[in-house]
Structure formats: C-alpha cells, structure tokens
Structure 1
Amino acid sequence: MAKEIERKFLVRKELWQPRGEGTEIAQGYLVADAMRAVRVRLAGQSAYLTVKGPTRGVERLEFEYAIPPDDARAMLALCERPWIEKRRYRERYGAHLWEIDCFSGENEGLIVAEIELAAADETFEAPPWLGEEVSDDSRYLNASLMRMPFSRWQKKL
C-alpha cells in the first residue's frame, strides 16, 4: 500500500520568489467526498490518475498511475468544475523537497507549500518563507478548493 504523509503550509508571499519556470498543472476530480478522491492531473507533458483515501491527521492512502496525456484530457472533460489550476515549483530546503503551488483561476492569490515526510512525526527545517500550517484545515485540500474556491471565501489571507 502507498501512504502519503504530507504537511501543508501557507507561504509568506513577501519572503518567497519562484525559482525557475515551474510546471503548469490542471487537475479535476471524477469523485471527491470525505472517503475518497479520484483525481486526473495534467502536469506539463505528463498525466496521472490518482486515488486517495480519507485523510487521518497528515496521513492518507494514495495510489498514483501515469496515464497517456490524451486520456487525461478526455477524463478532465468528465470532471466537476472548476478544475484546479496552478503552477508548481519544487525547492530543496535542508534535507527535504518542498512543492510550492501558486494557484490561478478561481483560486488566484493562494500559495501553499507542501512537504512529504517518511513519518508523521518526522522533523524538518522550516524555510524562512513558511507561514501558518494548514494541514488540519480541510479548506486547503485541492478537492475542497474545487468545491469552494479561494475567491469565494469570506475572509481572505
């Protein structure tokens, strides 16, 4: 079984600048509820079908499979709207790789950093641009951002 252990943080925009061009991502959900998510993602020239189980703390089951990009485009047409649109940057800080997502479309203005860990209690060095942890806030799950985009939130960051 594949287990994802991931923590999410807001990014302090005044302290972070993108390095490189990043990867453009479009993703949609065929299914998204409290027990499971089935996601289709186009990431640059690659495409993936991902199945995720329910989140328990910072852990969840995750199964990801590469698929042909043409299949992904056809599946995206079946997905709920709005799709998640973002540009992903990867940066190494200390011993870990961070993925920083700059959302666009209906989630414009939101920047979230994620770190995948080997254990829920694993320690890591925090970059200076790291803001508030939102791992326990379900609003920041991509499936939640599809249902209630950041642009519709009452209180903005």
Structure 2
Amino acid sequence: MSDTGYGDFEFERRFWVRDLPLELVDGAPTLIVQSYYLADEGFAIRLRAQTSGGVPVLDTSLDPLTVLDACAEQVDFCAITLKGPMNQGTRYEAEREIDVAVGLEMIRRGGSRIVKTRHSSWLGADGWVIDTFGGDNAPLVVAEVERGGPVTDLQIPAFCVTEVTDDQRFSNDALSRSPYGPWAAQFEAELAARGPRFLRGLGVNELEQPREG
C-alpha cells in the first residue's frame, strides 16, 4: 500500500534487460516464488513467498516448486495480494501478510507459479529492482522502478533495452500462464523489427548512454 495518499495503488515502470551489468549482480539475492490462483486480463490473486536475502543464486532451470522446497526454511515472508490491470504504470494492488507456513502450503497446493531472484540497487534518483526469472521463464530479466506516486521524468539506465510496463505479456501473472522461454525468440525478432519503445506522457525520459569500450 502506498503511504502517500494514493491508498492501494502502486506506481511502477518495467523494462526488458538483455545484459545485466555484473556490478548489479548480488551473490545472494532475494528469492521469490509466486503462485497465481487467478490471472485473467490483468486481474490477479497472488500468493508470494520470499526470503530476506542470503540465498545463493540457484540454477535457473529449476522449476518453482523445486526451488521453494529447497529454500523453504529460509522463507520469512508470505503475503496474499489482489491486483487490477496496469494502466500507464499505475495498478491497484492490495496486499496482506499471512503466516509463512500457510503461505508455503498454499503455493505448493495450487495456482500457476513463477520463480525469480531479485537484485536491488540505487541508480540515479531511484531505487531499482532487477528480477532474473527461472524455470520456464528463463532467460528473462526485467528491471523495475517503483515510487509512491506516478513514475515521471525517469532516468532510465542504459541496460534497460525497451519498456514493457504496458505489455501485458510481461506481467508476472501473465508469465505464470504463458512463460517467456517459448516465445523469447519471437520477442527478440519483434524488438529487432520495431526498435525499443518507452512510455510517453509521463514527463521526460532521460536515457543513459551505453558506456564505450
């Protein structure tokens, strides 16, 4: 929930990443396993289990349940969340923390699951998280910035190739039903044909230039 007067609304922008800079890769990122009991046209009911960090980077070929069982003792947070569709970086999101043991069993017993590791970094004027997806969603990497209000006048790091904020295919709930792996080559071809895109109407996008050499 936002604490800036917007209630249960989240404000974020998301970007597709091809090459994650090594300096942003934490050797023990946060592990997240999510199960979607509903995922339809942007509406979702999600169960999330996560660690507070300290879990080694895992084999991205492992499926979500295998990862969850391997790291269950290190999970220290679970929550259930109701989500609405994304609209220009704004989405309804009401979250409630639940008992870890109950959350783990709920994820084990149903829903469509995803697994990812999350790296966090302060870049420019904003805090960013970079999610590296595993299982059938490998090799997808998505960078996300979130604020307490609309994400305007954004400094976009050079490793952010194209924006996917309003591309429903890249929402976690959609990825739980239609994983990225099988259509990764299709997306790369699409990107090569049309070039990168960034949302307009949210102030000025300041694109960082790639480093030479």
Q: Could you say whether these structures have the same fold, taking a TM-score greater than 0.5 normalized by the shorter chain as the test?
A: yes
Superposition map of 1:39-58 within 5 A: 39-44=46-51, 45-58=76-89
Q: 2:17 aligns with which of 11, 30, 50?
A: 11
Q: How many angstroms does 1:156 deviate by?
A: 4.7
Q: 1:108 aligns with which of 128, 138, 147?
A: 138
Q: 2:163 aligns with which of 130, 133, 136?
A: 133
Counterpart secondary structure, 1:76: helix
Q: How many angstroms does 1:26 deviate by?
A: 0.6
Stretches of structure 1 that go unaligned for 5 or more consecutive residues are: none
Specify the alignment match of 2:29 in structure 1.
22
2:125 is matched by which residue type in structure 1? A
Q: How many angstroms does 1:102 deviate by?
A: 0.1
Residues 42 and 173 in structure 2, CA contact (< 8 A), matched pair in contact too = no
CA distance in 2, matches of 1:57, 1:84: 24
CA distance in 2, matches of 1:47, 1:84: 15
RMSD: 1.8
The structure number with the bigger radius of gyration is 2
CA distance in 2, matches of 1:140, 1:74: 26
Higher helix share: 2
Superposition map of 1:68-79 within 5 A: 68-79=99-110
Instruction: Say if 2:44 is the partner of 1:37.
Output: yes
Residues 87 and 166 in structure 2, CA contact (< 8 A), matched pair in contact too = no
Instruction: Say if 2:114 is the partner of 1:84.
Output: yes
Higher strand share: 1
2:41 is matched by which residue type in structure 1? A
Q: 2:95 aligns with which of 64, 76, 80?
A: 64
My pick for the range that moved more, 8-17 or 143-152, is 8-17
CA distance in 2, matches of 1:98, 1:90: 6
2:9 is matched by which residue type in structure 1? K
CA distance in 2, matches of 1:35, 1:10: 19
Specify the alignment match of 1:142 in structure 2.
172
Residues 94 and 124 in structure 1, CA contact (< 8 A), matched pair in contact too = no
Deviations 1:52-101 (A, max 9, x none): 112222111111111111111121134323x1110011111122111100
CA distance in 2, matches of 1:121, 1:89: 20
2:154 is matched by which residue type in structure 1? F
Specify the alignment match of 2:64 in structure 1.
none
TM score, norm. by length of structure 1? 0.90
Q: How many angstroms does 1:36 deviate by?
A: 2.1
My pick for the range that moved more, 109-118 or 12-21, is 12-21
TM score, norm. by length of structure 2? 0.68
Residues 140 and 181 in structure 2, CA contact (< 8 A), matched pair in contact too = no
